[in-house]
Structure 1
């Protein structure tokens, strides 16, 4: 199996990478946001959750304890 960063042969102790350096390069790419998992934008997810909370509280379906 080839290293996804540099295409050298992967080493068992760093699999699927060939070295700690390539593993660190990959981690840095994730932390910088270079890799993205497809999905709905966060602002759409937040507005959907707010709408559900409003709808549930209007119907009395909110399971959280009510404060006096």
Structure 2
């Protein structure tokens, strides 16, 4: 006797709609291509960032152009 598993449901990070985590949702974790592109645009515009130590590579005023 086979048991059916309940599908995993996640929320779209952009609009909070429920999304089935599986092949029926090709844009997962997003509900649609539109929400996927909105999220990509936010990253590209640097509205989103992964927390971490600041990049100090340019803080000393030295660049390869000055070498």
Q: Which TM-score bucket, shorter chain as reference?
A: 0.5 to 0.7
Tell me which protein shows more helix as a share of its residues: 1
Q: CA RMSD in A?
A: 2.1
TM-score normalised by length of structure 2? 0.57
**Structure 1 moving runs of 4+ over 3 Å:** 39-42
Structure 2 spans left out of the alignment, 5+ residues = 1-9, 63-67
TM-score normalised by length of structure 1? 0.57
Q: Which has the larger radius of gyration?
A: 1
Larger RCO, structures 1/2 (Cα 8 Å, 6+ apart): 2
Structure 1 spans left out of the alignment, 5+ residues = 51-68
Q: How many residue pairs get matched?
A: 48
